[in-house]
Chains A and B, each alone.
Chain A
Amino acid sequence: MTALTIQNLWKEYGDQIVLESVSLTIAPRAFVALVGPSGCGKTTFLRMLLGQERQTRGTILMDGLPLPPEPGPDRGVVYQRYSVFPHLTALQNVMLGPEFQAARLAGRLWGAKRRALVDKAAALLAEVGLAGAEGKFPAQLSGGMQQRLALAQTLMMRPKLLLLDEPFGALDPGIRTEIHALMRRLWHEHTMTVVMVTHDMREAFALATRVIAFDRPRNRPEERERYGATITNDIAIWPPRVAGRQTIYDADIPASQDDLTRFAIHSGTPRSVAGA
């Protein structure tokens, strides 16, 4: 149950102010989508949550404690590219995190421990729809499969906070719809808070519990240097989605639910409504 409190966050690169006075509280198990135009600091904000970059001013608290200054296993990340290791097979990619954790010197496991980990990793690969691809290298997988692999690799660490940096931006619409269904299911089943940067508004509203828009309130050319972006919109999705509980939008609806052209077909079917 991981809550984030961001207080008066500023990020400057030299004279250039990228983000200014960002204050935000993210509830445990929320799924927050960050949207906004290119160059508005969404990714910079995500990197600060990750620990890859330090804020210039302000504090980020995770469960009330200041964020460690470098990335760690409590915060997982999936990027649009380079999220998996090209020199490891799918199975090895998923096993890597636990191997790092268990063997601080060799970074590898042998014997019974290894076999147990192989089983666990294979089960997770099957869960994300990659059964049968265990021995393949990432370059032999399609873009969608690579992102599924990246999710599985990250989830092996049971991160408290999952950070997604335009993870599905490079995928075909059909593949994207499928992986949205997976993402939604993973969010329900794993105890984590998700923050996702995306360009795709439909994706943001299809997945998130809350959509936050970053933008520059002052955007004249002479102002761009000295005024950064900040939160301009904060939209709670209605009806609310609750992790681990089905709501009227997350009932037993097939993967095509956010494909609006097929939505009409399903609109007449009864839905098992549970929770609120």
Chain B
Amino acid sequence: MRLINIHPGKGERFLLAALPFVLLALAYLIGSALRLADNPGDKLLPSLASMGRMIEVMGFTPDKRTGDYLLWTDTAASLFRLWTGLAIATAIALVLGLLNGVLPVARAMLAPFVAFLSMVPPLALLPVLFIVLGLGEVSKIALIVIGVAPILTRDLALTAADLPREQIVKAETLSASSWLIAWRVVLPQVMPRLIDSLRLQLGPAFLFLIAAEAISAEGGLGYRIFLVRRYLSMDIIFPYVIWITLLAVAMDLGLRLIRRRLYPWAGVQA
């Protein structure tokens, strides 16, 4: 039997999927145990117990100075920035992308401009944003929007322009106006793709968020990580990184679920 023809069963697939996670955890535990045996004060690879203690401190003990539960206030602050940024970016992408994909006149005017904008490295604009918009929430949200919107827009415009010409002509013979074609023919058909490209942009969005928070913030997941870095507190950094990853994975799954629920036709194959 050739290797390409061996398909794992359901249980086997689960085991295989779990394997890299288990191996990574094992490698960490062994490395951590070895280092701690050498030097009980080692901070680089803290034990599970000390990480558990810090999770308890950050997540379930009120902060001495403010009385807040820091993990949750950090999470709330970061998610607010992230979601506001992504929502604004999606709205911009919908409007510009549809205009771009549907109307040749708009495409002639906007496509080169959006293509140009999408090449501006967003992080290089961060100082500009801090100077112009101040150090508050607006500049952080703006960074996410600037980083994500042009790519979403271009992807949406490409998807819209890729719809078969026949469909557009067909809609015209069904008496649709330009608006109705955009609204009932193009928009629903680009939405699944928009959700997918939003999923792909979660990573960059978190990157922009954490970069902005690292430089200047009064709270947030990225802010905390860069704050405790000064004390080499790997026992806080690791749980935070894992938490951020879990948040991103949950959002990815949520978006996939939404896509499947709202656009069942997109999963149907002939």
Q: Which residue of A lies closest to B270 (CB)?
A: A139
Binary contact track B179-213/A, C-beta < 8 Å → 1, others 0 = 11001110011000000000000000000000000
Q: Quick check: which of B27-35, B121-129, B152-160, B168-176 contacts chain A, the rest being far away?
A: B168-176
A100 with B180: CB separation less than 8 A: yes
How far is A123 from B134 in the complex, measured between Cα atoms in Å?
63
Question: Is B166 in contact with chain A by the CB < 8 A criterion?
Answer: yes
Question: Is A72 in contact with chain B by the CB < 8 A criterion?
Answer: yes
A83 with B173: CB separation less than 8 A: no
How far is A226 from B189 in the complex, measured between Cα atoms in Å?
42
Q: Which residue of A lies closest to B180 (CB)?
A: A107
A100 with B184: CB separation less than 8 A: yes
| Contact residues in B for A36 (Cβ distance below 8 Å) | none
How far is A77 from B189 in the complex, measured between Cα atoms in Å?
21
B167 with A70: CB separation less than 8 A: no
Kindly identify, within residues 94 to 138 of chain A, every residue whose CB is under 8 Å from any CB belonging to chain B: 96-97, 99-101, 104-105, 107-108, 137
Question: Is B66 in contact with chain A by the CB < 8 A criterion?
Answer: no
How far is A99 from B185 in the complex, measured between Cα atoms in Å?
13
Shortest distance from the beta carbon of B170 to any chain A beta carbon, whole Å? 6
| Contact residues in A for B72 (Cβ distance below 8 Å) | none
Shortest distance from the beta carbon of B253 to any chain A beta carbon, whole Å? 23
How far is A85 from B163 in the complex, measured between Cα atoms in Å?
10
Q: Which residue of B lies closest to A76 (CB)?
A: B173
B173 with A86: CB separation less than 8 A: no
B268 with A139: CB separation less than 8 A: yes
Question: Is A153 in contact with chain B by the CB < 8 A criterion?
Answer: yes
Determine which of B165, B173, B180 lies in contact with A154 in the assembled complex, contact meaning CB atoms within 8 Å.
Answer: B173
| Contact residues in A for B39 (Cβ distance below 8 Å) | none
Shortest distance from the beta carbon of B260 to any chain A beta carbon, whole Å? 14
A87 with B265: CB separation less than 8 A: yes
Question: Is A75 in contact with chain B by the CB < 8 A criterion?
Answer: yes
B173 with A72: CB separation less than 8 A: yes
Determine which of A73, A86, A104 lies in contact with B265 in the assembled complex, contact meaning CB atoms within 8 Å.
Answer: A86
Question: Is A184 in contact with chain B by the CB < 8 A criterion?
Answer: no
Interface centre among A51, A72, A107, A139 (most CB of B within 10 A): A107
Question: Is A52 in contact with chain B by the CB < 8 A criterion?
Answer: yes
Determine which of B171, B173, B184, B269 lies in contact with A50 in the assembled complex, contact meaning CB atoms within 8 Å.
Answer: B173
How far is A88 from B269 in the complex, measured between Cα atoms in Å?
14
Determine which of B173, B184, B269, B270 lies in contact with A71 in the assembled complex, contact meaning CB atoms within 8 Å.
Answer: B173
A77 with B185: CB separation less than 8 A: no
Question: Is B238 in contact with chain A by the CB < 8 A criterion?
Answer: no
How far is A108 from B183 in the complex, measured between Cα atoms in Å?
11
Determine which of B169, B173, B268 lies in contact with A157 in the assembled complex, contact meaning CB atoms within 8 Å.
Answer: B173
A77 with B269: CB separation less than 8 A: no
| Contact residues in B for A41 (Cβ distance below 8 Å) | none
Question: Is B263 in contact with chain A by the CB < 8 A criterion?
Answer: yes
| Contact residues in B for A107 (Cβ distance below 8 Å) | 176, 180, 183-184
- Mostly, the B contact residues are helix
Question: Is B5 in contact with chain A by the CB < 8 A criterion?
Answer: no
Task: Give the number of chain B interface residues (Cβ < 8 Å).
Answer: 27
B265 with A137: CB separation less than 8 A: yes
| Contact residues in B for A77 (Cβ distance below 8 Å) | 169-170, 173
A82 with B174: CB separation less than 8 A: no
| Contact residues in B for A199 (Cβ distance below 8 Å) | none
| Contact residues in A for B183 (Cβ distance below 8 Å) | 107
A75 with B170: CB separation less than 8 A: no
How far is A88 from B189 in the complex, measured between Cα atoms in Å?
10
Q: Which residue of A lies closest to B175 (CB)?
A: A73
Shortest distance from the beta carbon of B66 to any chain A beta carbon, whole Å? 50
Determine which of B167, B180, B188, B266 lies in contact with A82 in the assembled complex, contact meaning CB atoms within 8 Å.
Answer: B167
A137 with B184: CB separation less than 8 A: no
How far is A85 from B173 in the complex, measured between Cα atoms in Å?
13
Q: Which residue of A lies closest to B166 (CB)?
A: A82
Question: Is B8 in contact with chain A by the CB < 8 A criterion?
Answer: no
Shortest distance from the beta carbon of B17 to any chain A beta carbon, whole Å? 29
| Contact residues in A for B266 (Cβ distance below 8 Å) | 87
Q: Which residue of A lies closest to B192 (CB)?
A: A87
Binary contact track A236-262/B, C-beta < 8 Å → 1, others 0 = 000000000000000000000000000
Kindly identify, within residues 62 to 89 of chain A, every residue whose CB is under 8 Å from any CB belonging to chain B: 70-73, 75-77, 79, 81-83, 85-88
How far is A72 from B170 in the complex, measured between Cα atoms in Å?
9
| Contact residues in B for A72 (Cβ distance below 8 Å) | 172-173, 175
| Contact residues in A for B269 (Cβ distance below 8 Å) | 139
A82 with B175: CB separation less than 8 A: no
Contacts A85-B167, A137-B265, A137-B268 known; list 4 others, CB within 8 Å.
Answer: A82-B166, A87-B189, A107-B183, A139-B265
List the 3 shortest-distance A-B pairs measured between CB atoms, nearest first: A97-B174, A71-B172, A82-B166
Binding site for A on B (CB under 8 A): 164-167, 169-177, 179-180, 183-185, 188-189, 263-266, 268-270
List, sorted by A's number, 8 A–B pairs whose CB atoms are closer than 8 Å: A71-B169, A71-B172, A77-B169, A99-B184, A100-B180, A104-B177, A107-B180, A157-B174
